[in-house]
Amino acid sequence: MAAAIVRRSGWADMSKRDVSYKPLSLAQYFEAPDEFVGCFGWICGYSADSGFLNDAAERFTRRTDNQRAYEGRISIALMLDPSNPQILPIEVPGVLHLPIKERAPFRLLHAKVAILGFRHETDAKQWRLRLIVSTGNWTRDTLETSLDLVWSVELTSEDLKTQADSLAQISADMNSAWNMLKWLQGYFDVRVLHAAGLDRNQSPTETANQLLERWIAKTRRFQASATPQFFDNRKESFLTSLPRMIDADGASSSRNYLAMGSGFYETSSRKDQIPSVLKAIVERLQGEKLLSQKPVVDVFVNPHACQAVAGSLAAMTEANWTIREAAVADFFGQATRTLHAKFLFGASESRNSDLCNSAWVYLGSGNLTGPGFTKRMSRDGGNLEAGVIFRPQRLRWRPSKKSELDDLVTNFLPLQWDSDVSEKSEPLHAGDEFPNPEVNFTAAPVAYFFWREEDGKGWLWADQIPQHPYEVLDENGAHCPRDTEKGIQWLGAKPREVRVWWNENDEHREASLPVIDEYGRIAATTMPKLAIDQAWSQLENFPMPPDDEEIREGEEEKGLGDGKVQITNGSATTNYPVRQMMQLIENIASKQTTVPRVDWPMWCTRLEQCLTQASGSKVLEEFLKLKINPLSPLKNIAFRPSFAESKKTIEGDRYEEALVRVEKAWQVGSLNILGAPL
């Protein structure tokens, strides 16, 4: 079990004792642990971009963008503020930007939270959950130009067995965050995640999402004895929650130091007064006896954009508050970094100790503004915000020979006490006010289209009842022709996504919708034709996708059939079509009897897909001269796992339906059964 204290995104050791100290970047928090691979994850935030998401998705799934595009499975569902332009389905394969479907009960979706589920590569019973709370957006700016903070906790299936001391606390945090994300899903169009494809029961995407929810559910019974450190402002403001979260165990203590930092402050106040939110925080803590009456108060800012703080310098100085520029580590060299993190840090300092006594930390999405901190979520004034308040057990103010790098507070927060803004020759600047964002991405009347071909023509079919009229635009921007029975005709090769146009509240709207192919793949690339040996290669590596070099659109058939010798299971087999086909069937039978039940839907899809891709292979062409159905042995009980032995189970029915579709593609359904008398 792992619990990470607040980490600075890309920060280094401020003590200058060890320049090798390098905390993780926000993208690195998506990295799959050794022997694990990303299964499914949910992210919410204010904004994101394709550069960050491609990096994060590759770390999470251990798959390149080409592999994810070929696989056509959604691994990360993304919920952003509707002001964020749509991140197109083909820009970041495996990540689906979900549109908001109705007016939500918040001013802005500003919370920045992710829950990621990982599963073991070989043991389907092992899993890991990771909760990430960030002050930064899911963008390249967070990685490259801003100072942000990250907090993360993790628990595993093994932790539930050992019941470690921190299990209750992490379970409480995980479930508190999941409750918010699950609630938020109700305001977004999630229909694509449940789309199984025509004539299919369930998609690999939905299966993976269900696994994540099942793992989270297993942690719920362990949370009762702990108070969550994660909180949001759906019911009360951060300011209201602050004292209770700090004093969660009732061990009240009056600290003599408070640091407040924010990427954005309120935009207007009287110059002879301290900004109202900062003043309210101090007064609330003092009123609850969590801060002394004469504390040391430091306010950390971006001096080039600190809004009302810039005009209130005199009032804050009179109150003995100090305004300081946020620290930028030597690790960044000459690179410019600007404060974007939102944090509070309270502790007691004494002359005879280097420890940050009774320390507590807030970090989250809520800026120190009215909408971000002193208001609860509402349509008119309060954003949806999320954060954590926790109490690190051991932190030191300054480096010493005895202290470790992980003990030093300046390694985790952008604090410095060497200078304040009164010593700077350049005055503070208020910067720009926060703009009023416009709605850029909302749910279309339909969420996706199925692709099918009939009589040499391509058709887009929507099985959803549209909310109101819409038009599909072709590659030239013209409306596509419709047929009441067949759907919308697409003049051209199968697209991965299509543009839809509609009117909403007398406003013109457009969005790109993913196209789901006959295998249930979402916005996937074209599958090349495969030779028999190539088909087995892709099945042999299951559940991993094919290597990049195997994924080539329109690749000519290679491998068996050209006089070469194939090495299979350690033995050489000569290039005879009958032997090659029988070796394929034997390999499949051996492989699928070891596939875990949880992977069975994905295996059936992969099996159908790879064998259908081999429908034009030379080996199959030669074998068909025997008038025998080579797939018939795969229906034998001995070649199937116990949970899929017959159509009486969902797994068995799914398997046999997949074989029927392959038989149709191979044109072998009416041929003789292998082993039957001719």
Q: Is the peptide bond before 543 cis (omega within 30 degrees of 0)?
A: yes
20: pLDDT strictly greater than 70 = no
Please give the pLDDT value at position 124.
Answer: 85
The pLDDT, as a whole number, for residue 422 is 82
Distances (CA, A) of 267 to 305, 315, 367, 370, 507: 10, 16, 12, 10, 31
Q: Count of alpha carbons within 13 Å of 650, Cβ hemisphere only?
A: 7
How high is the pLDDT of residue 294?
95
Local structure of 355: helix, strand or coil: strand
For domain 239-423, give the fold: Endonuclease; Chain A (3.30.870)
Burial class, 493, CB count within 10 angstroms (exposed 0-12 / middle 13-18 / buried 19+): exposed
**What confidence score (pLDDT) does residue 12 get?**
28
Closest CA to 217 of 129, 111, 133: 129
- Is 28 in a helix, a strand, or coil? helix
Q: What is the DSSP letter of 26?
A: T
Distance CA 448, CA 465 (A): 11
- pLDDT at residue 256, as a whole number: 96
Task: Decide if 253 contacts 348 (C-beta within 8 A).
Answer: yes
pLDDT in tens, 529-544: 888 888 898 898 888 7
Which residues touch 661 (CB under 8 Å, ≥6 apart)? 608, 612
**Spatial contact of 636 and 659, defined as CB atoms under 8 Å apart:** no
**Exposed (0-12), middle (13-18) or buried (19+): which is 440, by Cβ within 10 Å?**
middle
pLDDT band for position 196 (50/70/90)?
confident
Span of 105-114, 131-140, 428-437, 659-668 with lowest mean pLDDT:
428-437
Residues 6+ positions from 478 with CB-CB distance below 8 Å = none
Dmax of the chain from CA atoms?
Answer: 102
Q: What is the per-residue pLDDT for 552?
A: 57
pLDDT score recorded for residue 407? 81
Intra-chain end-to-end CA distance of the chain, in Å: 62
Q: Is the pLDDT of residue 214 over 80?
A: yes
Q: Where are the beta strands (DSSP E) in 493-601?
A: 497-504, 507-516, 566-568, 571-573
Q: How far is CA 351 from CA 177, 257, 397, in A?
A: 39, 13, 11
Nearest CA-CA partner of 545 in 559, 524, 566: 524
Quick check: 200 and 604 in contact, CB under 8 A? Answer: no
Of residues 337 and 212, more confidently modeled:
212
User: What is the four-CA torsion angle of 72, 77, 79, 85, rounded to 10 degrees?
Assistant: -20
Domain boundaries, the chain: 2-226, 239-423, 445-526, 532-673
> Which residues fall within 8 angstroms of residue 246, CB to CB, at 6 or more apart?
285, 290, 346, 360, 389, 391
Alpha-carbon distance values, 80 to 29, 84, 182 (Å): 19, 7, 14
| CA neighbor of 588 nearest in space, from 571, 573, 574, 608 | 608
Query: From CA 642, how far away is CA 297, in angstroms rounded?
Result: 67
pLDDT at 574: 43
SS3 category, 503 = strand
pLDDT at 566: 42
pLDDT digits (tens, 9 = 90+) for 658-667: 999 999 999 9
Q: What is the pLDDT of residues 270-297, one digit of tens each?
A: 778 999 999 999 999 999 999 999 999 9
Please count the CA atoms within 13 angstroms of the CA of 569 that sit on its side-chain side. 10
pTM given for the model: 0.87
Distances (CA, A) of 226 to 170, 173, 229, 251, 290: 9, 9, 9, 15, 21
C-alpha to C-alpha distance for 298 and 417, rounded to whole angstroms = 9
- Per-residue pLDDT tens for 36-95? 999 999 999 999 999 999 999 999 999 988 889 988 999 999 999 999 999 998 999 999
pLDDT band, residue 269 (cuts 50/70/90): low
C-alpha torsion angle, residues 172, 176, 177, 182 (rounded to 10)? 130
* Segment 424-452, tens digit of pLDDT: 778 888 887 777 888 999 999 999 999 99
pLDDT digit string, tens, across residues 354-383: 899 999 999 999 999 999 999 999 998 899
Q: pLDDT tens for residues 481-492?
A: 999 888 999 998
pLDDT reading at 6 higher than 70? no
User: How far is the C-alpha of 169 from the C-alpha of 159, rounded, in Å?
Assistant: 12
Q: State the Cα–Cα distance between residues 128 and 375, nearest whole angstrom.
A: 35
How confident is residue 423, by pLDDT bands cut at 50, 70 and 90? confident
Q: Are 94 and 75 in contact (CB under 8 A)?
A: yes
Sequence letter at residue 584: L
pLDDT of 559 > 50? The answer is no
Parallel, antiparallel, or unpaired: how do β-strands 497-504 and 386-390 relate?
unpaired
- Above pLDDT 70, what percent of the chain? 88
H-helix segments, 76-124: none
**Higher local confidence (pLDDT), 560 or 542:** 542
From CA 102, how far away is CA 335, in angstroms rounded? Answer: 42
Tens of pLDDT, residue by residue over 298-349, are 999 999 999 999 989 999 999 999 999 999 866 666 677 899 999 999 999 9
pLDDT for residue 122 is more than 90: no
Q: Give the pLDDT band of residue 553 (cuts 50, 70, 90).
A: very low
Q: Is there a shared CATH topology between the 2-226 domain and the 239-423 domain?
A: yes
CATH number of 2-226: 3.30.870
The pLDDT mean for the chain works out to 87
What are the contacts of 327-334 at 24+ separation with CB within 8 A?
327/14, 327/410, 327/414, 327/415, 327/416, 328/147, 328/414, 329/8, 329/11, 329/12, 329/13, 329/14, 330/12, 330/16, 330/19, 331/10, 331/11, 331/12, 331/13, 331/19, 331/21, 331/22, 332/10, 332/12
- Any residues with CB less than 8 A from the CB of 217 and at least 6 apart, and which? none
What's the CA gap between 202 and 46, in Å, rounded?
Answer: 31
What are the DSSP calls for 121-184, one per residue?
Answer: SS-TT-EEEEEEEESS-BSHHHHHTEE-EEEEEEEEHHHHHHT-TTHHHHHHHHHHHHHHHHHH
Query: Residue 485 has what pLDDT?
Result: 86
What residues does 38 pair with on adjacent strands?
118
Quote the percentage of the chain above a pLDDT of 90. Answer: 61
Say how far apart CA 344 and CA 571 lie, in whole Å: 65
The whole-number pLDDT of residue 268 equals: 66
